[in-house]
Amino acid sequence: MPELPEVETVRRGLAPVMEGARITCATVNRPDLRWPFPPDMAARLTGKRIIRLGRRSKYLLADLDSGETLIVHLGMSGRMLVSGDPLGVFHRDHPTPEKHDHVVFDMESGARITFNDPRRFGAMDLVASDATERHWLIEKIGPEPFGNAFSESYLADALKPRKSPIKTVLLDQRIVAGLGNIYVCETLHRAGISPLRKASDLSRARAAALVPVIRDVLSEAIEAGGSSLRDHRQTDGELGYFQHAFRVYDREGTPCVTADCSGTVRRIVQSGRSSFYCAQCQR
């Protein structure tokens, strides 16, 4: 499942060809993905100008001049690929349509954005722009990790009453938006905190210190174009590269990279998800 860095990478790749541009034709090739598409989605998108392309947690948000917002979730395997860009950013002709090209946006500039999703776990919905934050997919999401609301004091207060392992708590989108398994594992290793430790057992200082570490990990991942383990591609079709900088994720049995640590990366399962960590330097 794409996490915040992958979705932000896609947003940044789409912005030059979508923000301020009009959708001359929206084509919807099936009635649903994970859930049914909203009624008359193609007609409601065709002819509309995209005022702003934003992101909330793992969702892309396209604000339209019609007063509606298109919410996009990439799911497990969704990709949004740009072709035919006259600005010269994407040097690709329009490809031959593929079986899993479920939604296609042809822009007034000649660019085309194709949403391809083989597993069909992605989703799209249309909502009144002034009601976006109340949409059922978004209303319970916590603060963005780069926002002012995600402060050291906020996180320390949020973790204190939680008896669950810190790994589980940081994956809770109600606590912080956009974090997934990869970046929580990487964050906890950098912070020297075991994924098994109860969130409530962390001192206030250690809890607060997680905030800059989370931001550093996410910033580096965005700069690298995200992590491509199976399905993630940038909008020009290229892979992300942060997987080459993993310290623990998917590195079971390899030496810990922490200076002066002789430990080995372990893998355990927590709530059905793999956790990678070093038992020697993460406490």
* Unique residue bearing structure tokens 């001359």: 24
Active site residue: 55, 58, 112, 233, which one? 58
DSSP string over 177-188: SS--HHHHHHHH
Left if phi > 0, otherwise alpha if psi is -120 to 50, otherwise beta: which for 74?
alpha
Q: Which residues contact 91 (CB under 8 A, 6 or more apart)?
A: none
19 is catalytic: no
CB 145 within 8 A of CB 154: no
3-state secondary structure of 79: strand
Active site residue: 3, 6, 8, 186, which one? 3
The Cβ-side half-sphere exposure at 127, using a 13 Å CA radius, reads 17
The residue type of 185 is: C
190 is catalytic: no
Q: What is the largest CA-CA distance in the chain?
A: 61
Determine phi and psi for 53, rounding to 5 degrees. Answer: -115, 110
Closest CA to 127 of 30, 59, 25: 59
58 is catalytic: yes
252 is catalytic: no
**H/E element holding 171?**
helix 166-171
What whole-number distance in Å separates Cα of residue 67 and Cα of residue 160? 41
Active site residue: 34, 49, 52, 273, which one? 273
Determine phi and psi for 277, rounding to 5 degrees. Answer: -165, 170
What whole-number distance in Å separates Cα of residue 47 and Cα of residue 4? 30
Residues facing residue 267 across a β-bridge: 276
Q: What residues are annotated to the active site? A: 2-3, 58, 273
